[in-house]
Structure 1
Amino acid sequence: MKYLFDLFKAHAATVLQITICVGVFVVFAYWAFIINFFPAGITLSESLLFVFAALMFGLFYSLWYLMAVAAVHGLFHWRASQTKFDGGLFIIGIATAGMLGAAAWSSQNVMVLVAPLLGALILLMIPWYWRPLPRGTPSGQVRRRERDKALITLTAIILPLIFVPEITSKLISNSMQRLGFRQMDVSVSLDAANQKIIKGVVDEFDIKLHSCGSNKNPEQIVHHVNVLWHGLGERTLIEMPFHADASGSPYQVELNRSGVNIVRRPGSQASIPLCFSLGNDLLFDTYASTLTLEGITALTTLLENVKVYEKHSERLITAVSVTGHSDRVPVSSANDSNQKLSRRRAESVAEHLKALRPDLHLSVKAAGSQTPVSSCSNSLSKGELNECLAIDRRVEIVIQTKAK
């Protein structure tokens, strides 16, 4: 025991340095090659991240590589001159080789199987066929022999990392996810500053967010996003996987980390709302409840986006509610009201959605002017007030989903 303790003390500093170097490589590779993002503000005191990153990456890689070592050793150990055939080892070799083969089949990449097996074969050939040097061998030759063995061992260990970069990328990403810096398919709560950033992206690229919040903060919670980096540094990077550009690449947004909080949902079976707010100015003419051509196009596009979401997220729509809203300016027509107008518009939207998707279970609500999101002063001119109140003239569509 004392020998092991002394050995640890003698090499602990070297092991720690190697671990930190591996961690720096893992974290840098994740930033530079996987998410193309650098979170400014990482301090020296946070360098412990590199140790944990190295340990987590080493754990995943070791499991994969040791399976290959077990497969090669179990299947071919009897080829070594000093080893006899062992049925138990042979069965272990078949089992581990089968698991690697299944992983290669699922990833559609044969190198997932071949690369670690090749590295393991090179590693095991050293004790199998590299016979010890005889007594009296010159020390220079012994050192060269040990250097060659170390070089071959290192080559055998890193070989799979070179030949299967896809697996290396997945191992690094999984390491970041296990450490909590990467969170996939989660909800995030945003402060006012980050809401403004998100709203700018929505307005610029004409995309809709899967978000529901309070009347004053309609985009406070954003659902179904991938948080690619969060926890250290000044910036957080989120990805909206179900909103892609023409090339199929998801939109990514950098946010202020201090204003982003990850909301942990209670399991994949939880019902999650997808909220879309469409302005009445887009859907209807002034005081009208018949959909315009632009409104019909907007609803058709909305349902196409929902179909894409259903396909990629593997979730089912359980219910859809359509709520009409109006601004606070009273309707001037006799026997009419803001409440009635908002209901007619909600019913018109619901009828069109039903025609496009007969399977949807729809409910219609009318909120009138009771839930405004604007804060317009009455001192504004009539034209300015009408423009300021535009965000209150809206139809909100809430789609409830659950896992299949």
Structure 2
Amino acid sequence: MSTRALPPFDPRDPLGIDDLLSDEDRAIRDAVRQWAADRVLPHVAEWYERGELPVIRELARELGALGALGMQLDGYGCAGATAVQYGLACLELEAADSGIRSLVSVQGSLAMYAIHRFGSEEQRQRWLPEMASGQVIGCFGLTEPDHGSDPSGMRTHARRDGGDWVLTGRKMWITNGSVAGVAVVWAQTDEGIRGFVVPADSPGFSAPEIRHKWSLRASVTSELVLDDVRLPADALLPEAIGLRGPLSCLSHARYGIVWGSMGAARTCFEAALDYAGAREQFGRPIAGFQLTQAKLADMAVELHKGILLAHHLGRRMDAGRLRPEQVSFGKLNNVREAIEICRAARTVMGANGISLEYPVMRHATNLESVLTYEGTVEMHQLVLGKALTGLDAFR
């Protein structure tokens, strides 16, 4: 039996998950964590309270310089990072705020990924370098006012007119919409659902911002209005036909959420752990009471199980073996558990848990949106149900 001394127990990494990371993994994680600490954490409570992200364009350029935009893609100014490295970046960004991770996810995993995977070489050369640098912000137009979980029923339509396409319709709940320089828009055509690269300065295109949100307040969310937007033939994404295109983009974005949600959960767990050690009641820190320790233990177990799950899915993605059903597994579990960790942290912190002086309530309300977008709980349950039984319960 080995007599080597065991490493000390780390309350913030109780399973020693850091041992799974390479030096490059840690360097990327630490760089993103430091950027978020310097540029987001000092201001995010104020942005959240005001319901705006006033420096989004500055942040996008800084994230581009950091290599975080489209970082999982190859070429065209993208970093070519591994799936695990991209996941670690998402975790650190959402540890600051879900709105910041959403900015990066929509830019890289939806808009840039769609152009990279389904676009022409001319489209890639035109858009991806500027999007990777953050000079151009992108958005992804799939969800509509009456069609969220069932995108096949979308009403946005594109018709041919000579050599052009003419797009008409509306999209809803679009992250980055009103600050985007380009939108990837999905529409019904006589050939099925197709994707289009729509410059934001196209006549007939507008993106009014959605106000009065109580979640993801430090984020730009918009409606897209397409009023007979005329596009040249080469605006069509040539390799995307049918729902396969947008659904593969969503699967890529959901993978980032598997990691990101654990970042929000980690912040809330650590806030509760620190608070419990400092807060005294009945003559001693509340961390010394059994019920508080039970909450902290349960939170730690679910948090680090979720991080291990994210790592496992990342390794599968890097090996080219990650199935969409497995992404649904991760999204369903990790976001649901992250919300429960936030709620438990709030109870540890009592009334202080609802104050913006602490991050817990901000993360809890943000995660209510994360729970819904990129597939609701019910949709992911049905994806897994179909995979487990072979029977389709969607219809």
> Which of structures 1 and 2 has the bigger CA Rg?
1
Q: TM-score, normalised by structure 2?
A: 0.24
Q: Which has the higher contact order (CA 8 A, sep 6+)?
A: 2
